[in-house]
Amino acid sequence: MKLIFLNFIISFIISSALIVVSTLFSKKTILDREKASPFECGFDPKNTSRIPFSIRFFLIAIVFLIFDIEISILLPLGLISNSAPPLIWISVGSSFLLAVTAGLYYEWKEKTLDWIT
């Protein structure tokens, strides 16, 4: 029983010492505002959350998301090329690409993709 208690005390002391040493050596002395802020969305998290944002940025992000999903839908076409007749998977892939290209053309004609207005 004493051996188990002694092992517990030793492991507690070693882990506590490691936590203290890592805290002392990993402490940043200079906090840079730019490095401390998140960079994914471009918004400052320390200010109010009710600030207006650019709807153009949102629309470009949605168009990117559509084309990102398009890639994930088109990638399996290469895998089914051995199991399906070529006419079927080429026609399915071509019709899907035609629909996405028509959507891109519509976005372009509506000037949604123009960043500067």
3-state helix, strand, coil in the chain (%, to 5): 65, 0, 35
Q: Cβ–Cβ contacts within 10 Å for residue 56, how many?
A: 14
Q: Which two tokens stand for residue 116?
A: 């500067």
Residues ≥6 apart with Cβ < 8 Å to 43? 49, 51, 53
Residue 89 backbone zone (phi > 0: left; psi -120 to 50: alpha; other: beta): alpha
Write out the H or E segment, with its range, that includes residue 55.
Answer: helix 55-74
Q: Please tell me the predicted confidence (pLDDT) of residue 78.
A: 78
pTM (2 decimals)?
Answer: 0.47
- Region 79-83: mean pLDDT is 79
Q: What whole-number distance in Å separates Cα of residue 80 and Cα of residue 86?
A: 9
Q: Of 14 and 23, which is predicted with more confidence?
A: 14
Q: With bands split at pLDDT 50, 70 and 90, how would you rate the model's confidence at 18? A: very high
The predicted-structure confidence for 41-77, as pLDDT tens digits, reads as follows 656 556 666 667 677 777 778 888 888 888 888 888 8
Query: Alpha-carbon Rg of the chain, whole angstroms?
Result: 28
Q: What domains appear along the chain, each with residue ranges and CATH number?
A: 2-109 (1.20.58)
Confidence tier at 13 by pLDDT (50, 70, 90): very high
Q: What integer is the mean pLDDT of 101-115? A: 82
In this model, does residue 117 exceed pLDDT 60? no
Please name the residue that has the structure tokens 């940043």. Answer: 28
Predicted confidence at residue 6, as pLDDT, reads 93
